[in-house]
Chains A and B, each alone.
Chain A
């Protein structure tokens, strides 16, 4: 079960969000990184950019393919994980920790209710 931590919320597009006050940290799930294979580039938005829920905010490229990243909640980008520029493989090796992608200031915290729990996300994967 540790592949999908209970304290995170999940989107059907395989992103996760971790809430800390009004700030959500966003990344991709274990399933997503495993499906993509070796991640070699993560294209991230500029700090300050605003996104609506489920709007595309970047792409993650693996050796084989390119995949869009969707912002699970509406908000403004506060920070991006600059370590991914040098070490995109962190998305594979540590998807929920060192491999986080952006931090967003939520504009509508109620949207978190639209996201899935760990148990529901795992049901989706079956």
Chain B
């Protein structure tokens, strides 16, 4: 188990900036810089921040055209919940790789490019996703794309500053679309609840491009701020809001499950759950007081019956109060507003709200 932690090409840059490095899913990544998580979080909400996300698992799926069918597409269609046939070239979609029970093996972005598809998996699940794709009988070549680096520039000023730093025009780049220019892939996506660009670049180019953003006074942000930002926006994190017993319907992504596209792994179980009712549902919780809810804390009603469990909790830098994402178990009245969160044996009053605690003003 003494496996060496992997490092992105920006490792030395993080050290030079004084980042606190931590092990995460087999990688040694910055959790925060000397400015601290709250300052990094606030920079992204108010202006812009840049993240090294080179730990994400990029997988290329070749499009093998034969017998009138695109085999790469067929593989993706049979294994993921969303309808990849709807993707235009240079478009991407959120999708979920499910087991036969509808439980999530990972949540993904599926990209279509001219001559291949690309899947972005969570770092913690990259090997599992690759094995799952390869286990499916298909002539399609599935390969990890390991010579990449990935940066994410997020915040209301992100697009403008990326345009300026890299001398490109992104004004026509729509949400969930990509632009290939100057050997870079610009993807208008993110994991913060803000507008932004995710950049897929050659490893060798990464330090130079990172420096351009730092010189442009863009705040470097670590995994800590990435977590608080995604939590406020109600975006699931595998290992918290998702596991192999949790379905995309429960996590709040019914629009990413396309029952009408033909059979896919987990379809029957998901259809049964849709028709029979969800076993649990992801919600947001706002708490009174200062104690911070953490994964595993119970959600109780006034009679101390267990209503559900916290999956992620933090102090919200935007709202300046403790917040959580939690699953409420059925049958639980969704009109339910007042609950208690049990933190260190104390019952802390809270309020059930939409899982998207933070919504960007567009």
User: Which residues of A come within 8 Å of B, CB atoms?
Assistant: 37-38, 40-41, 43, 59, 61-64, 66, 85, 88, 92
Minimum CB–CB distance from B43 to chain A (whole Å) comes to 14
CB pair A37 B290 closer than 8 Å = no
B37 cross-chain contacts in A, Cβ below 8 A:
37-38, 62-64
Complex CA distance for A29 and B38, rounded to whole angstroms: 21
A88 to chain B: closest residue by CB: B290
With A and B bound together, what is the CA distance between A1 and B21 in angstroms?
23
Q: How far is the CB of B243 from chain A (nearest CB, A)?
A: 21
Q: Is B190 an interface residue (CB 8 A)?
A: no
Q: Is B350 an interface residue (CB 8 A)?
A: no
Asked if B20 and A43 make an inter-chain contact with CB atoms under 8 angstroms apart, the answer reads: no
Q: How far is the CA of A41 from the CA of B322 in the complex (A)?
A: 10
Any A CB within 8 A of the CB of B317: yes
- Among candidates A40, A59, A63, residue contacting B344 with C-beta atoms closer than 8 Å: A59
Contact of B291 among A38, A61, A62 (CB under 8 A): A61
CA distance in complex: A34, B5 (Å): 23
B314: contacting residue among A43, A63, A85, A92, CB under 8 A: A63
Closest 3 CB pairs of A and B: A40-B315, A41-B290, A63-B37
Complex interface bits, B290-303 against A, C-beta within 8 A gives 1, otherwise 0: 11101000000000
Q: Is B252 an interface residue (CB 8 A)?
A: no
Contact of A63 among B224, B290, B291 (CB under 8 A): B224
Q: How far is the CA of A64 from the CA of B37 in the complex (A)?
A: 9
CB-nearest residue of chain B relative to A89? Answer: B38
* Among candidates A37, A40, A85, residue contacting B292 with C-beta atoms closer than 8 Å: A40
A61-B315, A64-B31 given as contacts; is B36 within 8 A of A38 (CB)? yes
Name the prevailing secondary structure of the B interface residues.
mixed
* A37 in contact with B20 (CB, 8 Å): yes
Nearest A residue to B224 via CB reads A64
User: 28 A-B contacts, Cβ less than 8 Å apart?
Assistant: A37-B20, A37-B31, A37-B37, A37-B224, A38-B38, A40-B38, A40-B290, A40-B292, A40-B315, A41-B290, A41-B291, A41-B292, A41-B315, A41-B322, A43-B344, A61-B290, A61-B291, A61-B315, A63-B37, A63-B38, A63-B224, A63-B228, A63-B314, A64-B37, A64-B224, A64-B227, A66-B292, A88-B290
Residues on the B chain within 8 Å of A63, using CB: 37-38, 224, 228, 314-315, 317
Is B152 close to A, CB under 8 A?
no
Q: Which residues of B contact A66 (CB under 8 A)?
A: 292, 294
Q: How far is the CA of A43 from the CA of B291 in the complex (A)?
A: 8
Asked if A37 and B294 sit within 8 Å, CB to CB, the answer is no
- Cα A104 to Cα B39 with chains together (Å): 34
A61 to B89, CA, bound (A): 46
Chain B residues contacting A38 (CB-CB under 8 Å) are 36-38
Q: Check B32–A61 contact: CB distance below 8 A.
A: no
Please name 7 further chain A to chain B contacts, defined as beta carbons within 8 Å, in addition to the given A37-B224, A59-B344, A63-B315, sorted by A numbering. A37-B20, A40-B38, A43-B290, A61-B315, A63-B224, A63-B314, A66-B294
Tell me the complex Cα distance, A66–B293, Å: 10
- Which chain B residues border A40 with CB–CB below 8 Å? 38, 290, 292, 315
Give Cα A39–Cα B258 distance, bound, in whole angstroms: 44
Kindly report which residue of chain A lies nearest to residue B37, judged by CB atoms.
A63
Q: Which residues of A contact B344 (CB under 8 A)?
A: 43, 59
B228: A residues at CB distance < 8 A: 63
Closest beta carbon of chain A to B105's beta carbon, Å: 27
Compute how far the CA of A76 lies from the CA of B19 in the bound complex, rounded to whole angstroms: 39
Q: Closest A residue to B227 by CB, please name it.
A: A64
